[in-house]
Structure 1
Amino acid sequence: MRFFGPAILFFCVAFVSGAQDPAAADGQRVEIRSSGGTDARIGVAVPTFATPPGQDALASQMTEVMRYDLDFTGLIRLLRPEEFPAAFSGLTSDPTKLNFDAWRSARAEYVVHVYAVSEGGNVTLECRLFDAATGQQVVGKRLSSQQSWWRQVVHQFSDEIVKYLDGEPGIATSQYCFSGGATGKKEIYIADYDGANMKQLTQHNSISILPTFSPDGSKIAYVSFKDRYQFLYSFELSSGKSMALSKEVGMNSAPAWAPNGQRLAMVLSKDANSEIYLVNADGTGKQRLTNDPGTDTSPCFSPDGNSIAFVSDRGGSPQIYVMDTTGGNVRRLSLQGGKSYDPSWSPDGKQIAYVVEQGGFEVYVMDANGANPRALTASGGSNESPSWSRDSRYVVFTSTREGKPQLWAANAATGENRKIPGIGVSAQGPDWGPRR
């Protein structure tokens, strides 16, 4: 999110309105870059889960969740039901009934078989992934949970499928935290990565913004005006309690966790203008890192914990810089023109997402050394606050392309944009949390 100049205290409350795209709907994907050539995605069939009699509705819901998960990856080409073999009439509880010759003819490379049983307030899924070429089971899991947690169980097997096909688990079990609410009031929320299970965490009846997950997902650091001034707090998800991290005179803002979870970077103005400090996770031991007449803000750590990317106008306009965690070896990264904000370092360390202002606000990515900048958005709205998924494949951000601020995600490799469905409030400043 923009964090600069005279709007420094209230940047998170207002967005630049963009033109509405009447074609975009919940969950719809918008291609902004063509990869060309042959579709190299892996063909996977996900038939409606088999269930005992009378449980068809739940099976249909579960199936749609898994299809969303696998389609979201960008790695998988889901077979449409009309592409299924003509003789296929549905799954049974017996996976040996699968006709792999027919599935191969339908261009399926893999077939998912799930038998789901809901009984006594619990749900059990017997999950299998078959290689259609050999007919062999390549992944198998028996997963159980309380029925109210069935989505999480489905997400778990989706991630197992992605792990087998790609070598790294998917991100279907992850969550976002973000700031949302009516005009004039903002609270901190969390939601599953697909927009489900949205929950309001804070009840401050104030403006609470800029949430960020701790590396283990147990806490969220954020900014709030709940005690009249702009202070920093930490919210513990297990207890639902908040504690103060910094209540210095002046501005306290832009918290960013170190990868080890033991320290945070933050922006304080207690010694004059906005500078970046390192602080212990309990708020003690503040150490100043920057000392420049310009404004320094929006810190984020490299995944190895040795560097911090940040925004500074020391060269005349806001740009992305990087420094060592001692405050030394400062160098500029963003060189593509325009003003640059909101750096977010990919967990694999290879890329940095950020925002470029050139008329509008668009999300870009560049290599970690500043090379190869390229746009992920081109919507005409205001696109801000990028945050990476833990597999470094996707970037969540806020966009006003349809009017009010909403969460969208972009595939960093293809540039494909997808609106996150189910978020029932104006959502800003998202952070993508770890897998659960």
Structure 2
Amino acid sequence: MLQVAKKYFSSVVSVTLAVLSMAGLSSSALAQMNIEITGVGQSLYPIAVMRFKDENKLPTSVTDIIRQDLARSGYFKNTENGNASESDEGTPNYKSWAARGADALALGSVVQTSAGQFEIRYKLFDIRKSESLGGLNINSSTDNLRAAAHKIADDIILKLLGERGIFSTRLSYVIKEGKRYRLVISDADGQNIRNAMNSSEPIISPSWSPDGKKVAYVSFEDRKPVIYVHELATGRRIALSNQKGNNSAPAWSPDGKKLAISLSKDGNTQIYSINADGTGLQRLTRGYTIDTEPQYSADGRYIYFTSDRGGNPQIYRMSAEGEQVDGAKRITFKQGFVTSPRISPDGKYLAYIANIGGAFRLYILNLATGDSQALTDGTSDESPSFAANGRYVLYSTKVGGKRVLAAVSVDGNSKQILSIPGSDVRQPSWGPFMD
């Protein structure tokens, strides 16, 4: 059994893993995602988001995007779903809105300032306290209306819940069409898909830089796995690591100056660090088994990684300077086969994939208490990635035989499926906050 587990672990953690189960796709990479919310939070904040006045001037409804964002958050219930609008001038009738069951009210309007240019105005009111919470005036071109709507939804989250919203963040993931692979970037809701990289060979393991301007990934375009760093705004990229053997699993340090990577150039796969410009390669582990899937801690002091040094794969932690500093400490104990460590931005949680009787399921571990829980009841979960606010985990799973993206809140209560009709999607990575 141990030899079988080791053989499987080798396929899971090596760069060939993400290629083995990539099914062919038939739909366009530019198709829009469907979103199915399958669960909600314990309690929902009732908010009325009224149809923005004169929104019919726009090719895209900002009201609908705002409503959808708030619904996907798992924290809000919209009490107004129709097309009625209300002026954003003056003061609303707080008693009337309270009687209609709203605790908050969002109003807005659209003013066309020139050809293809608009001013989106929005105001937010606390109905319970009978006070204005301010608002935003956003100048937007036709192409940036979705971004304007996401910014308003983020502002609502901040003003009402006191935390930064993640609707303006971005996702990256890999899809395949025929024999071609595409690394794509989308909004946080899976919409507004843009191609970043096309190839006839597999692309795997995208990883966002902390400033959200670059993505590191592994490409097989040279018939071997090579790690690239891709600048999204310009399309410029560098080959970060093209060593002998496998170059895999890039992960950025919190300051963006280094990446931790996995290399098999000296035999078995080990973990190295490398500067973001490709210089300064340094070996961090020196075991005789497989060490891979490195992830920096939120403060940059440690690296979490997957290793089968104890028999079956488990998650370990070492100094970011290497295990020669203070050894490697085992972190996971509750399940017998664990891979794919991901650390929450606040450093409180570890997400991972556990093999439970042949089912690969997303788990979360509280690093302070050692308590772990399954976030899904799936059998084919892969590639977890935390949202920038640490409230959600994005991952890939199977629904109806197809690979889809899914997101779940860290308490397991709010779940949603993001799918492209007729397509398989995988290797998701959730981008950081953008300043």
Whether TM-score is above 0.5 comes out as: yes
Query: Deviation string for 1:206-234 (max 9, x for gaps)?
Result: 11111111000111111011112111111
Partner of 2:74: 74
Question: Kindly, what percent of the aligned residue pairs are identical?
Answer: 33
Q: Secondary structure at the match of 1:203?
A: strand
Contact 1:176 1:433 in 2 (8 A): yes
Partner of 1:262: 257
Greater CA drift, 184-193 or 236-245: 184-193
How far apart are residue 414 of structure 1 and its match? Answer: 3.4
**Distance in 1 between residues matched to 2:209 and 2:35, nearest whole Å:** 28
**Distance in 1 between residues matched to 2:119 and 2:136, nearest whole Å:** 10
**Is the aligned partner of 1:30 residue 2:38?**
yes
Query: Deviation string for 1:2-21 (max 9, x for gaps)?
Result: 9931463421123499xxxx
Contact 1:196 1:422 in 2 (8 A): no
- Choose which of 356, 360, 381 in structure 1 pairs with 2:354: 356
**Mapping 1:108-119, distance limit 5 Å:** 108-118=102-112, 119=114
Q: Cα gap change, 1:354/1:148 in structure 2, threshold over 3 Å: closer, same or farther?
A: same
How far apart are residue 262 of structure 1 and its match? Answer: 0.3
Partner of 2:219: 224
Contact 2:51 2:86 in 1 (8 A): no
Report the aligned-residue RMSD: 2.3
- Choose which of 13, 16, 21 in structure 1 pairs with 2:19: 13
Q: Cα gap change, 1:302/1:9 in structure 2, threshold over 3 Å: closer, same or farther?
A: closer
Q: Cα gap change, 1:100/1:6 in structure 2, threshold over 3 Å: closer, same or farther?
A: closer
Give the unaligned 5+ runs of structure 2: 1-6, 24-32
**Distance in 2 between residues matched to 1:94 and 1:412, nearest whole Å:** 36
Contact 2:180 2:198 in 1 (8 A): no
**Mapping 1:88-237, distance limit 5 Å:** 90-96=84-90, 98-118=92-112, 119-182=114-177, 184-237=179-232
Contact 2:292 2:306 in 1 (8 A): yes
How far apart are residue 422 of structure 1 and its match? Answer: 5.1
Partner of 1:394: 392
Amino acid at match of 1:4: F
Partner of 1:403: 401
Query: Deviation string for 1:383-413 (max 9, x for gaps)?
Result: 1100000100001000112322111110112
Query: Deviation string for 1:152-195 (max 9, x for gaps)?
Result: 01111111111112222100001111121136542211111111
TM-score (norm 2): 0.89
TM-score (norm 1): 0.89
Give the unaligned 5+ runs of structure 1: 18-24, 83-88
Contact 2:88 2:107 in 1 (8 A): no
How far apart are residue 97 of structure 1 and its match? Answer: 6.4
How far apart are residue 415 of structure 1 and its match? Answer: 3.5
Contact 1:198 1:423 in 2 (8 A): no
How far apart are residue 94 of structure 1 and its match? Answer: 4.2
Partner of 1:20: none
Q: Cα gap change, 1:206/1:222 in structure 2, threshold over 3 Å: closer, same or farther?
A: same
**Mapping 1:306-321, distance limit 5 Å:** 306-321=301-316
Amino acid at match of 1:312: S
How far apart are residue 267 of structure 1 and its match? Answer: 0.2
